[in-house]
Amino acid sequence: MKKISLFILMLVCINGCLFSNKKHLNYVISDMSSFETPMWVFDENLEDKNDDYEYFISGTDDYDKTLCKKNALFIATEKIVAKISKEIISSGNYNNVKTDYIKNLIRLNLFNVEKVDNYWEQKKYKKSFGANDDYNIYSCYEAIKIKKEYLKQITDEVMLILNKHD
């Protein structure tokens, strides 16, 4: 009876170890910009159905906190540029225009982008936790918004400029 109980206990332990879906972290968070990680970092959703804004969220890692924060803002802004350029290109009228040219026009005409929130945390990776080496890195997240009417204005303005060049 003891052997059967021990065998079942061993099977349960092996099963728990093999089929555990918990991610093993090889770092500790040593510093952060706020007491808790904001929910939008995980689900990337700040959208409110009755809201006049469209939200763009990004995250990035860097060894330098200042660069990390600036890159997160840049990437979020580039998401706006990508959205507008995709809309312009999908209209079918500008297939002969280089995408980089369209994106540069959008960047020049981009206005009224507002910061919503940002968050950063410093992670200390440790060999003793399974990392390849001991090092520190920052993870930074940025949430920005722009009014939907401004997105349309920018799109229309860039399309007008493109039409003048044809």
SS3 track for 45-102: CCCCCCCCEEEEEEEEEECCHHHHHHHHHHHHHHHHHHHHHHHHHHCCCCCCCCHHHH
Please check whether residue 94 is in contact with residue 88, taking contact to mean a CB–CB distance below 8 angstroms: yes
Confidence of residue 91 (pLDDT cuts 50, 70, 90): confident
Please check whether residue 102 is in contact with residue 89, taking contact to mean a CB–CB distance below 8 angstroms: yes
Rounded CA-CA distance 149/160 in Å is: 16
User: Quick check: 22 pLDDT over 90?
Assistant: no
Express each pLDDT in 23-61 by its tens digit.
Answer: 568 899 999 999 898 988 887 677 666 689 999 999 999
Which residues are 120's β-sheet partners? 140
